[in-house]
Amino acid sequence: MSGTFSSNARNLEFGAPPPGVPACQGLDPEIFHPNPSDANRDPSPAERAALAVCEVCSVRDWCLERDMQECSTDRRISGVRGGLREADRRALHVQRFGRRPARRKAEAGR
Ligand code: SF4
């Protein structure tokens, strides 16, 4: 799955959501939080089920961009969003922003 990032994910302006209803609207959010698979393995069946929902979502690119810009570190990414599983979003995040240092314990507790 690595390397299949949205083609324009690096160029989108992050602003108001585009028109359209998110395909995940009304679904159980737990669907989008499967146990994460390793980056060097294929997505799990549970991840594929979530990715299939994203695949037909009309706001997918915006969703991915929002996720990228709202993730505070490459270590704090969870679940399937914007058509990418956790491992692939982490890789994209590192590609775009690099690795950010872990917050110190005192900061992390805030
Ligand atoms: S792309 Fe984002 S908004 Fe669309 S179904 Fe996936 S998680 Fe939901």
DSSP 31-91: GG-PPPPPTTSPPPHHHHHHHHHHHT-TTHHHHHHHHHHH--STT---S-BTTB-HHHHHH
Q: What is the mean pLDDT of residues 22-28?
A: 96
Ligand 1 centroid from CA 98, angstroms: 24
Q: Which residues pair with 84 in a beta bridge?
A: 81
Kindly tell me if the per-residue pLDDT of 45 is higher than 80: yes
Ligand 1 centroid from CA 33, angstroms: 12
Kindly tell me if the per-residue pLDDT of 66 is higher than 80: yes
For residues 13 and 77, which has the higher predicted lDDT (pLDDT)? 77
**Which pTM was predicted?**
0.78
Atom number in ligand 1 closest to CA 58: 4
Kindly report, residue by residue over 87-102, the tens digit of the pLDDT. 999 999 888 888 765 5
pLDDT of residue 15: 77
